Amino acid sequence: MMKRILLVAGMMLIGVGAVSAQQDIVKQRQQAMKDNGKSLGGVLGAMAKDKIPYDQKAVDAAFAQLEASGKELVSLFPDSTKGLKGEGKYSSSPKVWENRSDFETHAAKYNKAVSETKASVKDLATLKAAVPVIGKQCSGCHETFRLKDG
């Protein structure tokens, strides 16, 4: 009997651990998205709008972040996190999992746009051309796959 109780308790702990590991993935993807927002809005977009001076080093760093987070984007949405919500105003639509190939196509198009624009940006004029190209891919995915709560 005791053994059985311990077994059940142990299994429950494993269950709790698994849920919090999944919750960590939600946190991780939300953080990656916030970092995307900083790179695109806070750095590249701010330069394109002449709010901060053009700085090639900062441009390179922003592109490096966008590229790195783009590579892991799909893996931050495993099946086990369907229906889980993190903190904040946004969450993932169930469509991420229900229309998986469409979601992955969006991610691939986004990654292509990032690497193509990265190669094209050399100065303020080319940056100004690049920002909307990337932004279109962000919002193109959000339109279908991101929910705004409340």
Q: Where do contacts with ligand HEC occur on this chain (CB under 6 A)?
A: 26, 29-30, 33-34, 36-37, 40, 66, 73, 86, 88, 90-92, 96, 103, 106-107, 110, 134, 137-138, 141-142, 145-146
**Cβ-contact 141, 106 below 8 angstroms:** yes
Q: Which is nearer to ligand HEC, 91 or 127 (CB)?
A: 91
Whole-angstrom distance, CA of residue 82 vs CA of residue 84: 6
Whole-angstrom distance, CA of residue 36 vs CA of residue 70: 9
Q: How far is the CB of 25 from ligand HEC (least distance, A)?
A: 9
Q: Look at the block and give the residue holding tokens 């990654």.
A: 111
Q: How far is the CB of 47 from ligand HEC (least distance, A)?
A: 15
Q: Which is nearer to ligand HEC, 15 or 83 (CB)?
A: 83
**Cβ-contact 97, 74 below 8 angstroms:** no
